[in-house]
Amino acid sequence: MKTSFLRINMSLAGRGAATVLLGLALPAHATNGFNLIGFGAESLLMGGADVAVARDSSAINTNPAGLAQIHGKVFNGFGSVLRTLDLSHADQFGTDSHASNHFTLLGGGGYVQSLDSLPCAAGVGSFVQGGAGGVFRNFDNAFGTRDDFAAKFGIAKISFGMGCQVTERLALGGTIGVTYARIQQSLFRSTPGVGTDFNDADGMRPHFKIGLQYKLTPTITLGAAYTEKTKLSLSGGNLRFNTGFGITEYQDAKLEGLATPREFAVGAAWKPNDQWLLSAKVNWINWDDALNSSTLTARNPDGPGPAELSVSNRLDWSNQVVIALGTAYELNDKTTLYAGYNYGKNPIPRSHTTPFIAGILEHHYTAGAAYKFTPEWTFTGGFEYSPVVKVNYNNPELPFGNAQLRNEALFLHFMLSRQWQ
């Protein structure tokens, strides 16, 4: 089993807010590994080329230095609808099955206001960081039965950020907050002797991010952001094991070994005139340090079975360099058009590929528009298309033999913004 999560004592209110956010997002399908390519509609519709542009509340999660561009008060409510076009698994036992979960809704938002006494703006935001998962039903397996396997894995953040204009050209910013993650996972749970069903493991850990934006010339802005690794140790779960003589439930199950990765992004934005904005970003994602191996441990059985179960799995993800390009064109005073492209090579080795985390998408094409209804209200909407990727693999830690994983996705992104002076 290949997923891991986190648990730390947290307030009921904090856990409740994060659970509601993830309740919308599970399963959230991976894009750059298991990260989304951007956050907030403008970031996403510019292909994630946001580090030198960030200028709304989503800057809390992209580059907090960009918050210094906000004057007055801003609220952004953003969301996405994912249509899974082809999340499929095929293997040597005759299975060729599409995941039964075709639609996923993601949501988030942020509020930022400038500070009267300082050249700064500060705010709070909630973001679905990413995730993965699929539900595959009723297919033949290596044990001679027809059964299901499924995984639902999501990561959300609640963050507080501040950005300050420290000189005429330089802005600095920082973000602190909590990362919450949750997992549900089952493998052939009705098959005697092998079936498992792992549920309700979750956890919360602190995170931080820092960033800068520097205006090199009146038309060129440089940006950089650093995100620290956050370990995800998920506990408090339960595991049901089909012993062949009945179901034994282990009351103390946890999954350790995963983390959200360390990231370092640099970028530039060029505004040659009042209409055009061109942006680029290169983001290094340290998956190699974040996802090496995972260990599932279960104790305290309520029936026959070993006193403790422990299973370790190799992950061995590779580091990823993501290239993002984006453009915005102000058609008139009310309408802005967006387009973008994002590429990151699949970081998952063939020998450790799994349909539980189908983070194999590589190319992402985006387009959309923003329309300002009034000086206060703006609606932004568009799409992100990720063409099909096929990976042939044989993972010795999974009972699929020679197998193929396919993934193709279409996102619809939208954001409603309100600004006060």
- For 344-394, how does the pLDDT look when each residue is reduced to its tens digit (9 = 90+)? 999 999 999 988 777 889 999 999 999 999 999 999 999 999 999 999 999
pLDDT at position 29: 54
For the residues of 242-265, what is the DSSP string, one character each?
A: E-SSSEEEEEEEEEEEEEEPPEEE
Beta strand ranges found along 302-420 (DSSP E): 308-314, 320-330, 335-344, 363-372, 377-393, 403-420
**Residue 23 banded pLDDT, cuts 50, 70, 90:** very low
What's the rounded Cα separation, in Å, for the pair 21 and 7?
Answer: 17
Q: Are 115 and 20 in contact (CB under 8 A)?
A: no
Kindly report, residue by residue over 65-116, the tens digit of the pLDDT.
999 999 999 999 999 998 888 888 888 888 888 888 788 888 899 999 999 9
What's the rounded Cα separation, in Å, for the pair 326 and 43?
Answer: 9
What's the rounded Cα separation, in Å, for the pair 320 and 380?
Answer: 29
DSSP letter (8 states) at residue 397:
T
pLDDT at position 225: 98
Q: Decide if pLDDT at 10 tops 60.
A: no
pLDDT at position 166: 97
For the residues of 260-290, what is the DSSP string, one character each?
A: EPPEEEEEEEE--SSSEEEEEEEEEE-HHHH
Average pLDDT, the chain: 88
What's the rounded Cα separation, in Å, for the pair 310 and 296?
Answer: 6
The residues, ordered by sequence, that sit 6+ positions from 16 with a Cβ below 8 Å of its Cβ are none
**Residue 185 banded pLDDT, cuts 50, 70, 90:** confident
Coil, helix or strand at residue 26: coil
Kindly report, residue by residue over 287-339, the tens digit of the pLDDT.
999 999 999 899 999 888 788 888 888 899 999 999 999 999 999 999 999 99
pLDDT at position 89: 87
Which candidate, 397, 309, 419, 310, places its Cα nearest to that of 353?
397
Encoded tokens for 241: 């094991």
DSSP letter (8 states) at residue 32:
B
The residues, ordered by sequence, that sit 6+ positions from 31 with a Cβ below 8 Å of its Cβ are 37, 130, 342, 344, 359, 361, 364, 386, 409
pLDDT at position 24: 37
Q: Is the peptide bond before 27 cis (omega within 30 degrees of 0)?
A: yes
Q: Decide if pLDDT at 26 tops 60.
A: no
Which candidate, 93, 107, 193, places its Cα nearest to that of 157?
107
pLDDT at position 102: 81
pLDDT at position 130: 82
The residue type at 160: F
Q: Decide if pLDDT at 2 tops 60.
A: no
What's the rounded Cα separation, in Å, for the pair 51 and 269?
Answer: 9
Encoded tokens for 92: 């040597």
Kindly report, residue by residue over 400-412, the tens digit of the pLDDT.
889 999 999 999 9
pLDDT at position 154: 87
Instruction: Specify the residue for token string 């193929």.
Output: 404
